[in-house]
Amino acid sequence: MFDGVSLVLGRTEVLCEVSLRAEPGKVHAVVGPNGGGKSSLIRCLLGQAPHAGSIAIDWPGEQGRIGYVPQALEFDRGLPMTVMDFLAALVADRPAFLAPRPSVKVTILAALAEVGMEDKAGRRMGALSGGERQRVMMAQGLMPAPDLLVLDEPMAALDEAGAKIFERLIGTLKARGTTILWVEHDLAVVRRLADRVTGLSRTLLFDGPPEAELTPERVLALFSHRAGGAA
């Protein structure tokens, strides 16, 4: 998927010749120190960064759908928009001042149910906790059902219940054949859920099955790297 991808922003070489392949239907985690270029790699995939090298997606049939869940999003606490309004604005095919079609509402409620938020559809976005907001962002990534789901630290603000829901959701999506590219800091969760893991710190550090790649020495190196600051 990524072949020799490099990215320079200002004077910083953020990515240098990064190549990796996310296999269809698998969970592929990307780990590494803060500032290692994980989010930047995703921005390249989404066409939001001026990278060199190539990024290609081989869809098995017609072009598939990409879902994207960004790193925690900040909101104006006074935003007079409910969770339903917010999600409807993202998926609706008519102006926001009209109420969402019943079918759109059903889709939104189903996505909210997948993240354990079905009872919060009428809550104002500004009144949600950080973890609840994160769950709403996860729900938007599921609408419409994605073939490739790109997750940028989706668990950062989640409590234990939220983390359990997330883990279950990953299992459900995998069973549906969704390919998942997932930036994550929690290596224990990566070990549990990922089929493959790539270590990234400007360049590729390692790439393979978590049980083989996330050795105690590697984990220690990753953490001390992080403690030492950006790559």
Binding site for ligand ATP (CB under 6 A): 9-10, 12, 14, 32, 34-40, 230
- Report, in this order, helix, strand and coil percent for the chain, each rounded to 5: 40, 25, 40
Strand 148-152 with 52-55, pairing: unpaired
CB of 45 to ligand ATP, least distance (A): 12
CB of 46 to ligand ATP, least distance (A): 12
- Report the amino acid identity of residue 27: V
User: Which pair of tokens denotes residue 162?
Assistant: 């939220």
CB of 16 to ligand ATP, least distance (A): 12
3-state DSSP assignment of residue 36: coil
> Is the CB of 9 or the CB of 89 nearer to ligand ATP?
9
> Is the CB of 110 or the CB of 206 nearer to ligand ATP?
206
User: Residue 14: left (phi > 0), alpha (psi -120 to 50), or beta?
Assistant: alpha
> Is the CB of 24 or the CB of 35 nearer to ligand ATP?
35
> Is the CB of 186 or the CB of 195 nearer to ligand ATP?
186
CB of 159 to ligand ATP, least distance (A): 20
Instruction: Give whole-number Cα distances, 44 to 58, 138, 179, 208, in Å.
Output: 17, 20, 18, 22
